């Protein structure tokens, strides 16, 4: 059935999908929703009937619409640096804390490659027989069925992600089967990242939530991160995808290089060094006028123009606007900042991310390109001043991850 669909129906469908998934408006694929609606109309239902169903708090149609927009792209040992870090740093640290078992969660696991990769990583990094458990959760039940079958084709293996730890055996030319020892410790359950994980699943030492929050509104992303952090054991590590967050989540500290996007939950009573953001705000609050009066000018005809505020100070003003929910105001501040200080990398990244979140990807891409070319010119380890001092390679990696996104997903 072709032809125009009732716009009220599509608007309501969009609202329902956004509420269930947490997706930004521009991350909700209209064609996918339209296919679902048209299929229902073809089965003889009227637009009014569908609209009535979508006005219910929960309904089968809402769930079908939400499932239709989910993107389940994944593969084994994606972002291998996370698995290396877990093996080389995370596991030894957990053992030093006295852990007697290690538990991982692949949150938004799609068809399970990430959960099995995490289980294999933990098992290979621990003494034989050390207890390991990994949970994979997703909203998409059909993906979880694939995960439970534990048989994968060539699409799940990519050159860019080496097989870091023993994970599967070949089944003929095309397929692979997850090793029984890995499969035994990995379970899957349906769960929405916007709702608390039921208590029975316990707490975790390692959580991977990657390439999921990139589709979320800022509010949904913050809510999901808060829920994730509540399920970590003290000292546990949360790994997010590149460019999914641009600051350290509350109650956590950064671990490893910034581009790793790894955050550790503080142990109770553990003191935090004041964050560089606080230090930057302190700098921003420094007295504007020199404490000693400047020597009198020989020609007092015109007052000297005040120097423009430091870029990181303007940036902090924009961050405050974002926190207040004033994205329009924040955009205006950042646009002025980028015009005034085109080499200030944190400003380019902030503005690009803000535009991306507001759905203006076409306006974010050129900024990310500029960011990459400016970051490339700096030595990778050179610290770039901003609300948080980060090395140039963080900005390059963020821009690369963003610009390569379209080719991977």
- What the block records as the tokens of 376 is 């490339």
CA 315 – CA 317 distance, rounded (Å): 5
Residue of the chain from 19, 47, 51, 71 that contacts ligand SAM (CB under 6 A): 71
CA 121 from centroid of its chain's CA atoms: 21
Between 143 and 312, whose beta carbon lies closer to ligand SAM?
A: 143
Least CB distance from residue 3 to ligand SAM, whole Å? 30
Among 32, 194, 284, 336, binds ligand SAM (CB under 6 A): 194
Q: In terms of Cα–Cα distance, which of 84, 86, 104 is closest to 206?
A: 104
Q: For residues 231 and 365, what is the distance between their CA atoms, to the nearest angstrom?
A: 35
Q: Which residues of 301-315 are buried (b: 16+ CB within 10 A; e: fewer)?
A: eeeeeeeeebbbbbb
- Of 13, 22, 27, 37, the one binding ligand SAM by CB under 6 A: 22
Residue from the set 33, 36, 61, 78 that interacts with ligand SAM by CB under 6 A: 78
Are residues 360 and 338 in contact, defined by beta-carbon separation less than 8 angstroms?
no
Assess 212 for contact with ligand SAM (CB under 6 A): yes
CA 160 – CA 76 distance, rounded (Å): 10
Residue closer to ligand SAM, measured from CB, 33 or 139: 139
Binding span for ligand SAM by CB under 6 A among 153-161, 189-197, 251-259, 400-408: 189-197
Which of 68, 125, 211, 396 lies at the binding interface for ligand SAM (CB under 6 A)? 211
One of 61, 104, 114, 233 touching ligand SAM (CB under 6 A): 114
Stretch that binds ligand SAM, among 105-113, 169-177, 261-269, 393-401 (CB under 6 A): 105-113
Select the residue interacting with ligand SAM from 72, 235, 309, 380 (CB under 6 A): 72
Q: Give 32's Cβ-side CA count (13 Å radius).
A: 15
Chain centroid, CA 287 distance in Å: 37
Please, which of residues 363-392 interact with ligand SAM by CB under 6 A?
A: none
Helix-helix angle 60-68:47-54, to 10 degrees: 90
Q: Is 139 in the site for ligand SAM (CB under 6 A)?
A: yes
Q: Are strands 102-107 and 204-209 parallel, antiparallel or unpaired?
A: parallel
Distance CA 189, CA 201 (A): 10
Q: Is 210 in the site for ligand SAM (CB under 6 A)?
A: yes
Q: Is residue 108 a contact residue for ligand SAM (CB under 6 A)?
A: yes
Beta carbon of residue 70, minimum distance to ligand SAM (angstroms, whole number): 4
In whole angstroms, the minimum distance from the beta carbon of 388 to ligand SAM comes to: 25
The correct pick among 62, 68, 74, 156 for binding ligand SAM (CB under 6 A) is 74
Query: How many whole angstroms separate alpha carbon 1 and alpha carbon 42?
Result: 7
Query: Tokens 């090395």 correspond to what residue?
Result: 391
Q: Where are the alpha helices (DSSP H) in 188-310?
A: 218-230, 276-284
Nearer to ligand SAM, 192 or 317 (CB): 192
Segment lying near ligand SAM (by CB under 6 A), choices 87-95, 210-218, 273-281, 313-321: 210-218
Binding site for ligand SAM (CB under 6 A): 21-22, 70-74, 78, 108-110, 114, 138-140, 143, 192-194, 210-212
């Amino acid at each position: 059935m072709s032809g125009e669909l009732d716009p009220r129906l599509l608007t309501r469908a969009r609202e329902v999908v956004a509420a269930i998934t947490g997706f930004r408006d521009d991350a909700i694929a209209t064609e996918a929703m339209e296919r679902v609606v048209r299929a229902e109309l073809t089965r003889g239902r009227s637009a009014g009937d569908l609209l009535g169903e979508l006005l219910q708090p929960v309904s089968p149609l809402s769930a079908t619409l939400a499932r239709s927009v989910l993107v389940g792209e994944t593969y084994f040992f994606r972002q291998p640096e996370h698995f290396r870090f877990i093996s080389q740093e995370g596991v030894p640290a957990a053992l030093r804390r006295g852990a007697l078992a290690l538990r991982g969660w692949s949150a938004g696991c799609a068809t399970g490659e990430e959960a099995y990769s995490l289980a294999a990583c933990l098992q290979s990094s621990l003494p034989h027989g050390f207890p390991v458990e990994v949970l994979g959760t997703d909203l998409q039940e059909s993906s979880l069925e694939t995960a439970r079958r534990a048989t994968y084709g060539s699409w799940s293996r990519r050159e860019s992600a080496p097989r870091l730890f023993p994970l599967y055996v070949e089944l003929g030319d095309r397929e692979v089967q997850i090793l029984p020892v890995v499969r035994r410790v990995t379970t899957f359950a349906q769960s929405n990242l916007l709702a608390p994980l039921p208590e029975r699943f316990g707490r975790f030492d390692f959580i991977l939530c990657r390439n999921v929050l990139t589709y979320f509104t800022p509010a949904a992303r913050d809510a999901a991160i808060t829920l994730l952090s509540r399920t970590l054991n003290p000292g546990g590590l949360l790994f997010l995808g590149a460019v999914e967050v641009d600051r350290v989540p509350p109650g956590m500290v950064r671990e490893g290089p910034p581009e790793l996007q790894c955050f550790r939950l503080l142990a109770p009573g553990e003191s935090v060094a004041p964050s560089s953001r606080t230090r930057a705000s302190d700098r921003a609050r420094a007295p504007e006028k020199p404490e000693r009066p400047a020597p009198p000018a020989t020609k007092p005809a015109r007052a000297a123009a005040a120097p423009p505020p430091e870029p990181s100070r303007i940036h902090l003003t924009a961050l405050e606007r974002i926190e207040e929910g004033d994205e329009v105001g924040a955009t205006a501040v950042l646009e002025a900042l980028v015009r005034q200080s085109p080499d200030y990398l944190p400003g380019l990244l902030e503005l690009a991310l803000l535009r991306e979140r507001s759905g203006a990807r076409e306006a974010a891409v050129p900024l990310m390109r500029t960011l990459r070319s400016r970051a490339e010119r700096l030595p990778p380890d050179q610290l770039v001043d901003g609300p948080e001092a980060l090395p140039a390679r963080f900005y390059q990696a963020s821009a690369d991850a963003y610009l390569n996104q379209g080719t991977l997903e």
